Amino acid sequence: MKSSSNILSLKSHLEAICGKENVFTTEEVLKAYGSDHTEDLSFPPQILVKPGSTEEVSAILSLSYEVEVPVTPIGALTGLSGGALSVKGGIGLSLERMNKILKIDTNNMQVTTQPAVITQLLQEEVAKYGLYYAPDPASRGTCSIGGNLAENSGGPRALKYGVTKDFVLNLEVVLPNGEIIQTGANTLKNSTGYNLTQLLVGSEGTLGVITKAVLKLLPLPKHNLLMLVPFSSAFKACEAVAAIFNAGITPSALEFMERDAIDWTLDFVDSPPQLEIKEHHQAHLLIEVDGNDQEVLFKDCEKISEVVQRYEADEVMFADSEAQKEALWFLRRRVGEAVKANSIYKEEDTVVPRFELPKLLEGVKRIGEKYGFKSVCYGHAGDGNLHINIVKADMTDQQWSEELPKGIRELFQLTVDLGGTISGEHGIGYVQKGYMDIPFSKVELELMKKIKKVFDPKGLLNPGKIWE
Amino acid sequence: MKSSSNILSLKSHLEAICGKENVFTTEEVLKAYGSDHTEDLSFPPQILVKPGSTEEVSAILSLSYEVEVPVTPIGALTGLSGGALSVKGGIGLSLERMNKILKIDTNNMQVTTQPAVITQLLQEEVAKYGLYYAPDPASRGTCSIGGNLAENSGGPRALKYGVTKDFVLNLEVVLPNGEIIQTGANTLKNSTGYNLTQLLVGSEGTLGVITKAVLKLLPLPKHNLLMLVPFSSAFKACEAVAAIFNAGITPSALEFMERDAIDWTLDFVDSPPQLEIKEHHQAHLLIEVDGNDQEVLFKDCEKISEVVQRYEADEVMFADSEAQKEALWFLRRRVGEAVKANSIYKEEDTVVPRFELPKLLEGVKRIGEKYGFKSVCYGHAGDGNLHINIVKADMTDQQWSEELPKGIRELFQLTVDLGGTISGEHGIGYVQKGYMDIPFSKVELELMKKIKKVFDPKGLLNPGKIWE
């Protein structure tokens, strides 16, 4: 961390670039930009700046590069891995003023957007033209496209439509030294040079600052149906997941919730939906199908109903109005918050090939018993992405800080052994960086670190992330 | 190029690694491995080796790295940009013995394969389990998965299902110094470190040798319908393309063929299909829809028929048997060869956002007139990927070698101005490398070259490709 006087000497330069009203040094503001949705971390920047254009971002990075001050790009601060926290101090670069949708190109089914546009807003705007942007993190009402790009966010629709990376055609990026590049072209196909676009997506703001994105859109599906399926065994619920796909159906969402996740969320939210949850229901699958033909969707639902019966499902509940659908999705989206409100927690974002999900769940519980932790699991079962919320409950502080990391290590090792990896959609950021030796060999990590050095030879952009 | 005696001194070492029967130095063999489907290029390696395992590839690359001899990975030699030609001599590394499908994982809908498996064979094998591998280059009967990965191949189904990169979950790669890495995990989602997988796909064998791939599969669509639509204007045909998508339909193929392309192909193939082609038909669209519900597909076709009428289409011809479908696809897949058999040619692989296609086509003809060349255009109109075959016809040798490159430069500049780029699915390889300054700035090219250096500090793997 640079000394405060050094940093503050930059203030007038930053003000000259962005205007006095966009540079902040008060403790209150800095503190607000030092936390996201990851546990209770707090790493405020030493100075906060809010550029309004690519040129301003470029000028800030030229300056910080010259004087060798760290810069941390900041999106909507909804991240779950601490990726946007200024862990080395320096300049906090909030993109929040770059919040315009620049062009909705209906002819080419593309949208060009600045990074700070809220994901749900972008979805709603393109929907007005019958177009669909599918990536759909639980935080879609508050997270921004730039953050989604940085972390390669997913969400419940990824199993059918893919994650953020699958919707990115081209990026405008400011490099750590202030140079501006385009990563690709606005085309669906591209075999021209190395895929810088995909290298930037998911690089967690460590290679460059994304200032503009061209995203692919799809025709908006006309209909969807939603069903909630209770199971008397969480493992059977997980087993049913692969069976649904193997029956030839690709749902547009297939979410898994353990009993505690549902119970805690029903307690947590105001006016919860009326659900008939029985004593023996240990888990639920929330299953959505979408498409343009209602009849086909009904047939799909019938088929799904048949499949889940083979896994000891109880009676399937269909959402038979838009309001009911909304209530169920609202419930699902609030699970994370509800669990977090219940206890001190750590959330892991494990992902495995979907058929391995029951083995992962079994392992989570087994490892939990061994290390004395309780977990509440939920997530995007359709793509094998299980969010494991480890709750502190009655663990001692010593168990929490000394034993738990060993348990997490064992859990991540299991995930990798099952063909999976340690983050499906949250990124490594700050909190998972101590575990990168599990999915990657030294050679692989060394390659990534050298790529980082190509983009950022001085190591100034979002330092202290991804690796120790 | 190393002197032949230097190279030949490696022979016994290579034989010790792969066995005597897998190392070749006769002129006949070397010549056969020195040409692909790109124009009439010939760049034989100085020695050819056919490893049978990842370990053998690793041992070969360790050796070549130590003695600093260039190595060119060679797939099925169906490439259209000269990417697998040994332009700097050295060792030709044919992967052809690594031709096994290692595992079809129906539960997780994945296939693990060695690189030399023929694309069509892989498609047919997974189809036996009701699974679908969509990327489908015209050469699918002879090209291999490894080559598809190297060039990020596309084909007619890319507009709905994506290109090769969209089906890759994880790769095993041997680095130029012989080290073996995994690029990712076998999961649909992954936010763990930089996306080495997508960096490797499309890198044309310049960063590492792909020895194993884990590919995503989809449920095999149960039905498809195919229609051939004649237009009295090639430009109107191109205009109809975006209109079909804007009507809310995503075809599984949408191919464009200029009149000459069809005529020449009908002349070229044995027993051509019976088509009623009228004097005024200037272009055709070949349109396929697929899905699980035949009724829905019929409705889609009706809607498409309505849309194309607005663009002066003549009567739509439906393929009403599997044999007719096969015949139409056979015709389409042979267009490239037919055009090439007709004249000395150069093929460009331009791609633009699909609504810009009429502007591109108009530009091709205008630029052709200016520089005195004739072109036959066809390709994957649904994703804006236009193959422009420039035929020598009655151009003088001097025009061909001196004027034409200026014309191509102007054409590529137009492509980029329209939001597109210079290769959609063939790669840059050897023949397009002089044009990389058009889509990319110096800074962007410099980044790519530095990434190359991270993987291949001695510049030994597939040298002389992508850049001058």
Q: Is A272's pLDDT higher than 90?
A: no
State the pLDDT at residue B367. Answer: 97
Q: Is A2's pLDDT higher than 70?
A: no
Contacts of B245 in chain A (CB under 8 A): 109, 219
Distance CA A360, CA B363 (A): 56
State the pLDDT at residue A6. Answer: 77
Residues 82-111 of A with CB under 8 A from B: 105-110
Burial of B189 (0-12, 13-18, 19+ CB in 10 A): buried
Beta-strand relationship, A345-351 and A374-380:
unpaired
The strand ranges marked E within A183-247 are 209-216, 218-219, 223-231
Distance CA B124, CA A418 (A): 27
For A40, phi then psi, to 5°, come to: -120, 35
On whether ipTM exceeds 0.95, the answer is yes
| Mean pLDDT within A224-248 | 95
**pLDDT tens figures, A414-459:** 999 999 999 999 999 999 999 999 999 999 999 999 999 999 999 9
- In chain A, domain spans: 4-94, 101-219, 221-337, 343-459
Half-sphere exposure of A133 (CA within 13 A, CB side): 34
H/E element, A376: strand A374-380
Q: Is B444's pLDDT higher than 60?
A: yes
- In terms of Cα–Cα distance, which of B115, B179, B182 is closest to B150? B115
Q: Is A5's pLDDT higher than 80?
A: no
CB B133 within 8 A of CB B161: no
**Ranges A192-206, A258-272, A336-350, most confident:** A192-206
Strand partners, B386: B350, B379
3-state class of B201 per DSSP? Answer: coil
| Mean pLDDT within A236-261 | 94
| Mean pLDDT within A179-198 | 98
| C-beta atoms of A352 and B105 within 8 A | no
CB B218 within 8 A of CB A159: no
- In terms of Cα–Cα distance, which of A159, A202, A163, A231 is closest to A384? A159
The dotted CATH code for A4-94 is: 3.30.43.10
State the pLDDT at residue A8. Answer: 81
**pLDDT tens figures, A359-417:** 999 999 999 999 999 999 999 999 999 999 999 888 999 999 999 999 999 999 999 99
Distance CA A414, CA A391 (A): 20
For B231, phi then psi, to 5°, come to: -125, 145
**pLDDT tens figures, B234-252:** 999 999 999 999 999 999 9
- In terms of Cα–Cα distance, which of B270, B97, B204 is closest to B426? B204
**pLDDT tens figures, B11-61:** 999 999 999 999 999 999 999 999 999 989 999 999 999 999 999 999 999
- In terms of Cα–Cα distance, which of B229, B252, B223 is closest to B322? B223
- Among B189, B199, B448, the residue with its CB nearest the CB of A424 is B189
- Sheet containing A283-291, strands listed edge to edge, beginning at the edge strand earlier in sequence: A317-318, A223-231, A283-291, A253-258, A374-380, A385-391, A345-351
Return the exposure string of B412-432: e unless at least 16 CB atoms fall within 10 Å of the residue's CB, then b: bbbbbebbbbbbbbbbbbbbb
Longest dimension (CA), chain B: 68
State the pLDDT at residue B407. Answer: 96
| C-beta atoms of B151 and A191 within 8 A | yes
Residues 347-406 of B with CB under 8 A from A: 349, 351-356, 380, 383-385
State the pLDDT at residue A1. Answer: 53
Query: Is B196 near chain A, with CB under 8 Å?
Result: yes
CB A237 within 8 A of CB A255: no
Distance CA A205, CA B289 (A): 40
Q: Is A277's pLDDT higher than 60?
A: yes
DSSP A191: -
Q: Is A213's pLDDT higher than 60?
A: yes
Q: Which tokens sit at B162?
A: 């994506």
- In terms of Cα–Cα distance, which of B288, B224, B188, B301 is closest to A250? B188
Distance CA A150, CA A146 (A): 6
Burial of A170 (0-12, 13-18, 19+ CB in 10 A): buried
| Mean pLDDT within A268-272 | 87
**pLDDT tens figures, B151-206:** 999 999 999 999 999 999 999 999 999 999 999 999 999 999 999 999 999 999 99
Least confident of A2-11, A337-346, B6-15, B319-328: A2-11
Query: Is B457 near chain A, with CB under 8 Å?
Result: no
Q: What is the DSSP string of B76-127?
A: SS--SS-TTS-TT-SEEEE-TT---EEEEETTTTEEEE-TTSBHHHHHHHHH
Beta-strand relationship, A91-94 and A71-74:
parallel
Distance CA B253, CA B140 (A): 15
- In terms of Cα–Cα distance, which of B278, B381, B288, B378 is closest to B333? B378
How far, CA to CA in Å, does B332 sit from each of A25, B257, B329, B350, B397? 65, 8, 5, 18, 30
3-state class of A78 per DSSP? Answer: coil
pLDDT-based confidence at residue B3 (cuts at 50, 70, 90): low
Contacts of A131 in chain B (CB under 8 A): none
Q: Is B270's pLDDT higher than 90?
A: no
One-letter identity of residue B113: T
Mutate to test the interface with B, among A103, A148, A192 (most CBs of B within 10 A): A192
| Mean pLDDT within A102-125 | 98
The class level of CATH for B101-219 reads alpha beta
Neighbours of A396 (CB within 10 A): 11
Neighbours of A325 (CB within 10 A): 16
Least confident of A154-158, A307-311, B166-170, B335-339: B335-339
Which residue shows structure tokens 């829809």?
A: B289
pLDDT-based confidence at residue B311 (cuts at 50, 70, 90): very high
Domain B221-338: which topology? Alpha-Beta Plaits (3.30.70)
Distance CA A86, CA A71 (A): 8
Query: Is A62 near chain B, with CB under 8 Å?
Result: no
Query: Is B319 near chain A, with CB under 8 Å?
Result: no
| C-beta atoms of B195 and A185 within 8 A | no
Q: Is B326's pLDDT higher than 80?
A: yes
- Among B107, B193, B353, the residue with its CB nearest the CB of A246 is B107
Report residue B103 CA to chain centroid gap. Answer: 25
Domain B343-459: which topology? Alpha-Beta Plaits (3.30.70)
Domain A221-337: which topology? Alpha-Beta Plaits (3.30.70)
Contacts of B452 in chain A (CB under 8 A): 194
**pLDDT tens figures, A300-335:** 999 999 999 999 999 999 998 999 999 999 989 899
Least confident of A15-24, A71-80, A164-173, A343-352: A343-352
- Among A222, A436, A455, the residue with its CB nearest the CB of B193 is A436
Same fold, A4-94 and A101-219: no
Q: Which tokens sit at B71?
A: 């190595």
H/E element, B323: helix B322-342
| C-beta atoms of B385 and A250 within 8 A | no
